[in-house]
Structure 1
Amino acid sequence: MLGDVTQTTGTVTTDVIPGRPRRPRVHRAWIVAAVTFVTIIGGAAFNSLPGLLIDPLHTWFGWSRGEIGLAVSIDMALYGLTAPFAAALMDRFGIRRVVVVALSAVAAGALASVWMTASWQLMLYWGLLVGLGSGAMAMSFSVTVTNRWFTARRGLVTGILTAAGASGQLVFLPLCAWIVDRHGWRAASVTVALAALAVVPLVWFLMRDHPADVGLAPYGGEHTEKPAPPKGAAARTVRVLFDAARTGPFWLLAGSFAICGASTNGLIRTHFVPSAHDHGMAITAAASLLAVIGVFDIVGTVFSGWLTDRYDARRLLAVYYALRGVSLLFLPMLMAPAVHPPMILFIVFYGLDWVATVPPTMALCRERYGEDSAIVFGWVLASHQVGAALVAFLGGVARDVFGSYDVVWYASGALCAMAALMVLAVRRARTDGPVLHDVAA
């Protein structure tokens, strides 16, 4: 054909006929991924602030740390319990609509908290609205985008979007701490609300639910028609939970991952800053240490994935939990007004271990539950947030009762030792038939 030229888009080479519009040089999938990345970074602002508000709200309103911790625990619990249903909502109503509603809920909750006068309002605004909104943008958001828009480079995209949370923590923790220290907690809440609202136009105008919406194939794949909105996705999510709950490995994995959440989001992310402040450390310095965790958890997660491909996932998890427990036992002795080398060593180790538990836990879910493993992992992830929620609340209560956080660190260390024993009790899957109803003794 006269004048035909060849153009390469993504990994697909196509013929372009003069006179017809050319496809964009940058595949739309990368634009969608970039919007997702920015959205997840914004989500880090929502998750960074609660731990910074405990002392300011206690001083401003006189609320107990237990009351404030309860609001944080509601936020974390709803974050986890919303996640298994988020993918179903996106399948039914579309990614763009669900994410815009979620961002609006977060902005409304953060902004309304500026005018609160009672602790129940903190539970409503920050616990309910922010918890539901941020839960809709949990891991299922990045998984849905990756599965729909990419056939090639899925591993790379998944890694980049996973790193977005850590990158956002690195940016927003010091920023929010500086705002709280210089301008007060209300200014920090307004900052979170504005961050959520700033992302809404990007999502609405640049995000699309499916490549077929713009006449494209997924990156590296072939063109497919957009499927009709499925029915019964939420029912399947619940059905898989009931089936998995009949097996012993599910409870061992869910229990150990609940302790993982308790010792990370519930404990360190929520109570490390106020605990360090109790020992005279500046809030900005303590928040900067937490931000460093966000750097090293990227390295730890990638390395853990590499190890998971080569070694028994159960033994890896046992080592991770045991070492985490030992480090928590030493933490009370490391607290001081200034940052010193042993504390930096703890922060580096905790960063490496922070989400290193995810790859081997996912591997065990795949081994035990096959094609339902993604949904099962969603529920295991929910247990992670429930564990975080409990410790976010109980840690504040313990601080009110005992006057320090020492007992919280010691108790969490003991729980990590329990988690190490639990994962070792997960038996290998049988290869002679279905494993879903194989109940461990």
Structure 2
Amino acid sequence: MTQTARPETSSSPTPSTPSTPSSPAPAVAAVVPPRVHPAWWVALVAFLVLIGAAGFRATPGVLIDPLHEEFGWSRGSISFAVSVNLLLYGFTAPFATALMERYGIRRVVLGSLLLISAGSGLTVFMTARWQLVLCWGVLVGLGAGSMALAFAGTIAGRWFVARRGLVTGILTAGGAAGNLVFLPLVGLLAEGPGWRTAALAVALCALAVVPLVVWLLRDRPEDLGLRPYGAGDDYVTPPPAPPGAARRTLTALAAAARTRVFWLLAASFAVCGASTNGLIGTHFVPGAHDHGMPVPVAASLLAVIGIFDVLGTICSGWLTDRYDARRLLAVYYALRGASLLFLPVLLAENVHPPMLLFIVFYGLDWVATVPPTIALCREHFGADAGVVFGWVLASHQLGAAVVAFGAGMIRDATGSYDLAWTSAGVLCAVATVLVMVIRRGAPAAVPART
């Protein structure tokens, strides 16, 4: 962190503009820089928030069987609430940046945590399926969607110049780590005290993060009289975002939708969402339970995916800097599809080595698709890449929502998830072809400044 000592000493706690590249000599002795740049504390809070957002969103998958047993609701109808959750999570994400520009990061995050807490806590009083859709579908979906990958990108972009890629990767992996934290806990509570205790635990965890957000999360380093981590003396504070950020989001979508690349990326990423959040994330636990595996054990296996997801995402980012993003995506989708074709014969009452191999592989491949997909957005859409990726992410969640609902209907109709596993494997083969059709070429827009 000594890299940032000189840039930080040129900042002053007075209201002077920290972005003005004035001569640093007089200011060097004026301020002793903090041992730890506040950007790292902001990143830590963002990491915890993203862990919670992912965990809160993934929790309903563990509750499918308990809700089915208590209320007699079909798995399809319960899965519909999960699909609404996934859909709102995805389509809130493109507007999350606009919300943060308009109201500030801290206000949006606080509002999101309160929505999640209310949605989870109110489920203990529900008596009808529409209430499940309202609580877990609408409230938790909107809350988690406001803290999606756009939040990670905003934090990394505002608070870091050096290590920006690393921080983006860590925050992205933090979203996956939410499964590791919440799923075993929720599984144990649902199996023991009951699903209501699990829902209340989620609500309390959301509220527990609120004090940290109030204390440590700030919108920009300039609010503290500092420059971003790693910014040099030539750093200039970006101008405030112009009004109409939401309009720009829609304008970028309209422009991107006129290109073939956008639809190829959106369709392939929809398959990614279908085969991860929609299928495995939602139905692996009840699917394993159908074969006699206890819910806490199945939830723990799903949580292990989160461990290897962190490693896989970081490694994928490293590979994306060195190899063709299209070929990486093709390999990821092809291997994922092959593994899903074998899943029906791997599920059993007990955990065995081939199942562990599947879990490890699926974890490595879970969000490995994100870095190369972002790279392709940057290559083809330049300055609008962030907004376009937000819409590609929305397609990811649309695919997840469709399959989350469809797999539940398949289970109700056939008494098994086998058709759902194999159909997702075929879809991954289609995604392999889609990404290889994307051509390399000049960006469609002027590249964004860093």
TM-score w.r.t. length of structure 2: 0.91
Q: Does 1:95 align with 2:105?
A: yes
Give CA-to-partner distance per residue, 1:342-385, whole Å, 9 cap, x none.
10111111111111111221121112111111111111111000
Deviation at 1:160, TM superposition (A): 2.2
| Residue equivalent to 1:185 | 195
The answer to whether the Cα contact below 8 Å between 1:213 and 1:226 also exists between their aligned partners in 2 is no
Deviation at 1:192, TM superposition (A): 0.8
2:279 is paired with a residue whose SS is helix
Deviation at 1:227, TM superposition (A): 4.1
**1:57–1:16 CA distance, 2 compared to 1 (3 A):** farther
Deviation at 1:105, TM superposition (A): 0.6
The answer to whether the Cα contact below 8 Å between 1:313 and 1:363 also exists between their aligned partners in 2 is yes
Match of 2:365 among 337, 340, 353: 353
**1:256–1:21 CA distance, 2 compared to 1 (3 A):** closer
The CA distance in 2 between the partners of 1:19 and 1:284, in whole Å, is 57
**Counterpart mapping for 1:189-228 below 5 A:** 189-221=199-231, 222=233, 227-228=239-240
Which amino acid in 2 is paired with 1:32? Answer: V
Aligned identity (percent) is 63
1:275 is paired with a residue whose SS is helix
**Counterpart mapping for 1:154-169 below 5 A:** 154-169=164-179
The CA distance in 2 between the partners of 1:355 and 1:322, in whole Å, is 14
The answer to whether the Cα contact below 8 Å between 1:7 and 1:13 also exists between their aligned partners in 2 is no
The answer to whether the Cα contact below 8 Å between 1:398 and 1:405 also exists between their aligned partners in 2 is yes
Which amino acid in 1 is paired with 2:103? Answer: F
**Counterpart mapping for 1:420-435 below 5 A:** 420-429=432-441, 431=442, 435=444
1:53 is paired with a residue whose SS is helix
| Residue equivalent to 1:46 | 56
Deviation at 1:225, TM superposition (A): 5.2
The answer to whether the Cα contact below 8 Å between 1:259 and 1:416 also exists between their aligned partners in 2 is yes
The answer to whether the Cα contact below 8 Å between 2:173 and 2:313 also exists between their aligned partners in 1 is no
| Residue equivalent to 2:37 | 27
Deviation at 1:158, TM superposition (A): 1.6
| Residue equivalent to 1:80 | 90
| Residue equivalent to 2:316 | 304
Which amino acid in 1 is paired with 2:129? Answer: S
| Residue equivalent to 1:128 | 138
Which amino acid in 2 is paired with 1:269? Answer: G
Structure 1 stretches of 4+ with a deviation exceeding 6 A read 15-21
User: Which blocks of at least 5 consecutive residues in structure 1 are unaligned?
Assistant: 1-5, 437-441
The answer to whether the Cα contact below 8 Å between 1:362 and 1:377 also exists between their aligned partners in 2 is yes
Which amino acid in 1 is paired with 2:343? Answer: L
1:253 is paired with a residue whose SS is helix
Q: Does 1:376 align with 2:363?
A: no
Deviation at 1:18, TM superposition (A): 12
TM-score w.r.t. length of structure 1: 0.92
1:395 is paired with a residue whose SS is helix
Which amino acid in 2 is paired with 1:182? Answer: G
**1:311–1:121 CA distance, 2 compared to 1 (3 A):** same
The answer to whether the Cα contact below 8 Å between 2:169 and 2:313 also exists between their aligned partners in 1 is no
Give CA-to-partner distance per residue, 1:264-323, whole Å, 9 cap, x none.
000001000000000000111111111111111122222222222232222221221111
Q: Does 1:111 align with 2:121?
A: yes
The CA distance in 2 between the partners of 1:120 and 1:67, in whole Å, is 10
| Residue equivalent to 1:339 | 351
More deviation, 249-258/33-42: 33-42
**1:250–1:19 CA distance, 2 compared to 1 (3 A):** closer
RMSD of aligned Cα (Å)? 2.1
The CA distance in 1 between the partners of 2:378 and 2:270, in whole Å, is 19
Give the length in aligned residue pairs. 428
| Residue equivalent to 1:439 | none
The answer to whether the Cα contact below 8 Å between 1:10 and 1:26 also exists between their aligned partners in 2 is no
**1:82–1:18 CA distance, 2 compared to 1 (3 A):** closer
The CA distance in 2 between the partners of 1:58 and 1:7, in whole Å, is 56
Q: Does 1:314 align with 2:326?
A: yes
The CA distance in 2 between the partners of 1:7 and 1:113, in whole Å, is 49
The answer to whether the Cα contact below 8 Å between 1:10 and 1:219 also exists between their aligned partners in 2 is no
Q: Does 1:271 align with 2:283?
A: yes
